Chain A
């Protein structure tokens, strides 16, 4: 009896398996549409067909607040250096040139006093922790939803955000040097005046 039962069980399970695979085979070849996490029905998806997404042609939509490539709105940067200091992997390189006077305001009204000649982010080093975006006081450093930026050249991972030309940098440096020289002269003059007064 066990013998016949095993044959019956085997036959039935083979037929059932064939039925299940045939159901999938019938719906094969059609890709389902890529659905992003922001879609209302993301967790209710029961589409049938191929779940392969042919990547470069189709992409899964990523929310606008994705945590991928860093972006700097350089006009809003006050060159406070906090992002470079908090970065655990030191991927942000920045320099600043002090201005003699206020050079403008950011979009949230903070005063800008420093020029920004260099602001380089090395995305190859970046660990996507997002600490730099948290400390940024003017919220000019943000993470974007762009995640696909591979290259075959290491140097192309260095993203330069400052947009001052070389001449302008020289000009600003000279301006600063002149201002400091004037300040120093004024200070010395004031000192001399003090000494001379009885």
Chain B
């Protein structure tokens, strides 16, 4: 059963990455008043499939200056944490691979291993651009984890649990969309915005794509990678986008709960409940991925000192304030229940 889940999650991630790349190319083209891929398949839909076929059939080049063993394991270290992160997501009422009590903590901890993979990739490539890129990645991803965690924590305090499935259930009621975190506790909107900005930085997306800044670093940490290993890095980036978007959906937008409860609900553990839950979880997640793509093609890359200013002087204090607010909110709730 676990194997089946793993295989289906992997094929889903791969399919998502291909379609997301296609979507990104189309969206960026439309924003630039271009057309994007049009020739391969209907509306150019098969373009990314052709691209991945090309990538898979390419030679894996090993640079002379590379640290051989580390160079080979780095793409796996980049991709696997993201892949493992998908295992704790509840995808429908009573569906999911694992329901650990500390799901949120586990997810955040596992995803942050990716930084080590990126650092190893940069170090093992034996290339100064790769090294610079991964040094930037470390500085950026480690600092942005703090405001991200504070934003997550403010939501976790409200729900009183680290269990992702319980968080989802807490956001269910007959009133549908009004029971979602951001509508029931309006200050979570600010938490969400905070968290969303941090996910952009953690997935190395523009405007925080310093680690792979094409204009200065050519491609950053994955400059020496080709063929399947490059494809794996690329897959990890898009999978990470989706994973962190899904986490945002689970924490702030009701997870797999339908915003329209009058359409009816399904019993927990049945196949229709799984499909209905998946539909809402993914459509909300894709919306956030779309916003990430939209932001990427709207904003220029910010400078490294602006990046650090934003993280340490704006987002972290704001995160602390939100943390404080959610503590007060929870306390008043608890006391009003007591009296």
Chain A residues with a Cβ under 8 A of chain B: 3, 7, 14, 17-18, 20-22, 24-25, 27-29, 31, 49-52, 54
Contact = CB atoms under 8 A, between A and B. Distances in A.
What 8 pairs between A and B have smallest CB-CB spacing? A28-B30, A21-B298, A52-B35, A17-B298, A21-B31, A25-B30, A50-B35, A24-B31
Contact of A20 (B30, B35, B298): B298
Contact of A18 (B26, B34, B295, B314): B295
15 contacts: A17-B299, A18-B298, A20-B298, A21-B297, A24-B32, A25-B27, A25-B31, A27-B30, A28-B29, A28-B30, A29-B26, A49-B33, A50-B30, A50-B35, A52-B34
Nearest to A53: B35
Nearest to A57: B38
A3 B314 CA distance: 9
B298 A28 contact: no
Contacts of A14: 298-299
Interface in B1-38: 26-27, 29-35, 38
B-side interface size class: 10 to 19
A28 B294 CA distance: 13
Nearest to A17: B298
A25 B291 CA distance: 12
B35 A54 contact: yes
Interface of B: 26-27, 29-35, 38, 294-295, 297-299, 313-314
Contacts, number: 47
Contacts of B34: 50-52
B305 to A, nearest CB: 13
A28 to B, nearest CB: 2
A22 B35 contact: no
A31 B38 CA distance: 12
A21 B290 CA distance: 13
Given A49-B33, A50-B34, A52-B35, A25 B294 contact: yes
Q: Which of B33, B297, B313 has the most CB of A within 10 A?
A: B33
Contacts of A27: 30
B282 to A, nearest CB: 21
Contact of B38 (A7, A49, A54): A54
Q: Which of A3, A17, A28, A50 has the most CB of B within 10 A?
A: A28
Nearest to A23: B31
A26 to B, nearest CB: 8
Contact of A24 (B33, B38, B299, B313): B33
A51 B35 CA distance: 8
Q: Which of B29, B30, B38, B297 has the most CB of A within 10 A?
A: B30
B211 to A, nearest CB: 21
A51 B33 CA distance: 6
B33 A21 contact: no
Contacts of B297: 21
A24 B29 CA distance: 10
B30 A29 contact: yes
Contacts of A21: 31, 294, 297-298
B104 to A, nearest CB: 28
B288 to A, nearest CB: 14
A54 B294 CA distance: 25
Contacts of A54: 35, 38
Nearest to A14: B299
Contacts of B31: 21, 24-25, 28
